[in-house]
Structure 1
């Protein structure tokens, strides 16, 4: 068992296979299956995106000042770049799958224009779009400088680290109303 589950991709593959068996066993003949698959992917990717956002803000950023200087490269050269890879791609594909869901269910335009009945989900979508923009066009470019992935002098690295942190905290702030909008639309309506 340790050989099978010791490899992350074996574990992910096994989980995916079991999900397909459950999906096909219970919903294989359901015409809404494609919609269900996109909803599943949207939630899965959203968990990864927001989970990593919270990891950065609740664990990595507050802990780094306590890490001895000789150990910091372990985080900045190995852990942070890998986490940022999954963070930015999870952000992109969470947004893409969300837009596909809205399109499949014929409310994309209504949500994005905040039409009555779709204001809550629309606001959630706009917040997610702003957050994804921050990830790709502010946080990631600044993290590349701060982590030394691209050349930058010490002052530029420090400024980039601060900018990335402020926008990451901005995304943490936006994540709470965004998550509320996403989960309350179905339960409480779109207003």
Structure 2
């Protein structure tokens, strides 16, 4: 690794940040025309669960404009995330050793993929169950009219919860590779992880058993997957090629 002056690093950091922000803005501008359609797509799981003739509402005067814009910005962030991660990688890679690059790059890509998979899991599988349950338990005579801004806050929280949950294998592998925990300790903590998964699910998800299980079960299974991958990575090269 070559030592470079601090000023050079700061200039390089500024360049990478600018490129990441420009990439985000380009995607946002390209998607802005369809911001209403993008929000409708996000709201579809709830709209499908609402009783006939029921609609979402906006209690803030500016919400019909700003909420779809926020959603579009979040989508633009996700779409431009590969470019952002590339800029981060281009900045830190020169300071890494070869063996560190072989570990960091796959973990970085895996983190991105797993987070998106977690969000997709929440959108396609969890949301229909959660909103169907909430619609079914709504008392008679009460209109289930959800504010669009509060709905956005709710789904973002769920996206983050499931996205982070699907990062568990990466977290397990990193902790094991750093020597923080051994494979024996990871296996020994299995019962605590299962209990903790259901506790976390009970706190994060709505108060129905289905959504809690749909968060706790993947968290546990992904923990087990992280142990398997850690064991594979720690195997000697001769065993892997045998």
Q: TM-score, normalised by structure 2?
A: 0.29
Of structures 1 and 2, the larger Rg is shown by: 2
Q: TM-score, normalised by structure 1?
A: 0.34
